[in-house]
Structure 1
Amino acid sequence: MITVGGFNTAIDRLVTLDVLQPGAVQRASTVQSYPGGKGVHVAQTIAALGEPVQLVGLVDAPHRNVVTRRMSERGVLFHGVEMGEGLRQCLALRERDGRMTEVLDPGPMLTTATRDQLLRTLERALDSSEALVLSGSLPRGFESDTYAKIVRHAASLGMACLVDASGETLRQVVDARPCVIKPNRDEAGQLVGYPVDTPAQAETLLRELYARGVVRPLVTLGEQGAFGFDGESVWHASLALERSMNAVGSGDCFLAGMAVAYQRGLAFDESLRLAVACGAANAMGEETGFVERSLVQSLLPKVRVQRIVAPARRA
């Protein structure tokens, strides 16, 4: 069982229009609404790949049945902690040429009781878990070191922990020595204080993070693909897509692929292959943060994985 701590559940709205014109009245061609948030994206992708998964996250009374039913349909065991205020409402505006504009709701300030209930629910879920994924922003009211504390607790249980976070939360997570972190280009640059735009800069970042105790550091650079370090070699994985419908959530699906690969004991290069295939499958689909297993399988052979920096030869 893989447990996902994706506390900051949201209701996602995907609005499709011709061209976004700021300041003008516009009519949408389609509007879709469904449960979202990075934890939801990760959990339902893990389930789509065939692994048992449970998700701990927030829910409100108006959306409890909607979220629980959708997660059940997707094969995810959902442990929803109800709060008094409404869930976040996040908006994605998609233009005809595929350009996306996101507006992310910060969500309500949680009470101490709700925060404590989320943490207790996660701790109980860990009793039946082999791996933990922490994904997304922390709801308002949590301290920035919350993920770091959870990572240390998981390590004390002998459990691998994969984390996708940003800002101060990510900085503190690194010091907790998780198994995997997956910043994107912008998050990585903010973390280390220098640009991470090229393979050479990615290598520098990955070696630095490994030296600080991250077992399998990763970084994603958009169309340039993903880079990872296994302690000996730097690897690069990429897949050129002919079409991209909705790339929002691809990083979440990438992380889900890494979690499944870790659970299955795949070699590092094959783990990267699966992760990139998951991210690409999401970009090719309509819905944010969801993949079809058959599409992932068809993409796997097309992912190019290469070792770009080999281990140093020993004398």
Structure 2
Amino acid sequence: MILTVTPNPSLDRTYEVPALERGEVNRASAERMDPGGKGVNVSRAVAAAGRRTVAVLPLGGAPGALVAHLLDAQGIEVAPVPVAGATRSNIALAESDGVLTKINAPGPELSAAEQELLLETVREQSRDADWIACCGSLPRGLAPSWYGDAVARVHAGGARIALDTSGRALLEALGARPDVVKPNAEELAAAVGRPLATVGDALKAAEEVRALGARAVLASLGADGQLLVSDTGAWFGCARVSSVRSNVGAGDASLAGFLIAGGTGPEALASAVAHGAAAVRLPGSVMPAPADLDPAAVTVTADIPVDRELMEPVS
């Protein structure tokens, strides 16, 4: 079982438009409504693969009730933490050329009692988990140290934890030694405080994040591929993608694929790359099922192309 923790979940509405015209009436060609949040997306991808998953998340108001209903309909067990504030609603506008515009609401502010209940629920639900994935931004009221506290409690219970967050929340959690962290290129650059222009730059940055405490780093480099750096080695993975429909949740699908495949080594990296590549070919934040994967399009190598320039360098 893979347990996910989403401290700031959302109700996500995605509209597909030919091209976004600012200041004009834009008519959508398609629309979707999905339960949102990075951990929620990981659970959705795990469930799509036919694996058991439990989602821990604070829920409040009518949007929170709808999130729980949508998750249940997808076969995801929900461990809700009731909160007084309403769960946030987010909007995404996906253009036909792959450009995505997102409007994310801040979400409710959690009280001290609600924060403690969230941590305690994670501890209680983690007993049967193979992996725990803590993902996304922190809602108002939670200090940047909250993820570090979560990592410490999970480790005290003997479980493994993957962390997908950024900024101070990521840096303050590294001292608790999460088993895996999954930054994208921008988050990786921010963690080390310098730009990334090549795959080699990303590799060096991942090694520095490991030196700060992460036991392994799974770095998403967008269209360039993914890096896995751990104490057993470093690998680079990429996949052929014919077209991009939406990159919403692609990183979350990658993390799910990584954990589904055991969460360690080149085989898990190959699964992560396959899931991420499949996700970008699907609309909105739809998570890939096994039939959507194309393992033959994936290449994983220990011969990392350190001199390759990133197609999307981070300044």
- Fold in common (TM above 0.5): yes
Paired letter, 2:16? T
Displacement, 1:64? Answer: 4.7
- Residue aligning to 2:117: 117
* TM-score for the superposition, normalised by structure 2: 0.91
- Residue aligning to 1:66: 66
Paired letter, 1:23? G
Q: Do the aligned residues in 2 keep the contact of 1:250 with 1:289 (CA within 8 Å)?
A: no
Displacement, 1:111? Answer: 2.2
CA 1:221–1:309 in structure 2 vs 1: closer, same or farther (change >3 Å)?
closer
1:210 and 1:140 mapped to 2: Cα distance? 28
Q: Which moved more, 1:76-85 or 1:159-168?
A: 76-85
Displacement, 1:129? Answer: 2.0
Deviations 1:118-164 (Å, cap 9, x if unpaired)?
A: 22221211122232110111111101011111112212222111000
Paired letter, 2:245? M
SS at match of 2:69: helix
Matches within 5 A, 1:19-38: 19-38=19-38
Displacement, 1:78? Answer: 0.5
Matches within 5 A, 1:5-16: 5-16=5-16
Matches within 5 A, 1:131-170: 131-170=131-170
Displacement, 1:84? Answer: 2.5
Deviations 1:87-132 (Å, cap 9, x if unpaired)?
A: 1111111112221111111112122232222222212111222321
Deviations 1:206-245 (Å, cap 9, x if unpaired)?
A: 2222233322212111110001113243211001211111
1:192 and 1:185 mapped to 2: Cα distance? 11
2:196 and 2:115 mapped to 1: Cα distance? 34
Matches within 5 A, 1:37-56: 37-56=37-56
SS at match of 1:308: coil
1:303 has 2:282 as partner: no
2:68 and 2:203 mapped to 1: Cα distance? 41
Displacement, 1:250? Answer: 0.3
2:185 and 2:261 mapped to 1: Cα distance? 23
Q: Do the aligned residues in 1 keep the contact of 2:123 with 2:157 (CA within 8 Å)?
A: no
Instruction: Report percent identity of matched pairs.
Output: 30
CA 1:304–1:176 in structure 2 vs 1: closer, same or farther (change >3 Å)?
same
Matches within 5 A, 1:147-296: 147-262=147-262, 268-296=265-293
Displacement, 1:281? Answer: 1.4
Q: Which runs of 4+ in 1 moved over 4 A?
A: none
- Residue aligning to 2:308: none
2:107 and 2:64 mapped to 1: Cα distance? 16
1:2 and 1:84 mapped to 2: Cα distance? 27
Q: Do the aligned residues in 2 keep the contact of 1:197 with 1:221 (CA within 8 Å)?
A: no
2:254 and 2:304 mapped to 1: Cα distance? 22
The total of aligned residue pairs comes to 305
1:25 and 1:49 mapped to 2: Cα distance? 39
Displacement, 1:309? Answer: 5.0
Q: Which moved more, 1:213-222 or 1:62-71?
A: 62-71
Unaligned runs of 5+ in 2: 306-315
Deviations 1:156-191 (Å, cap 9, x if unpaired)?
A: 222111000011001112221111001001111111
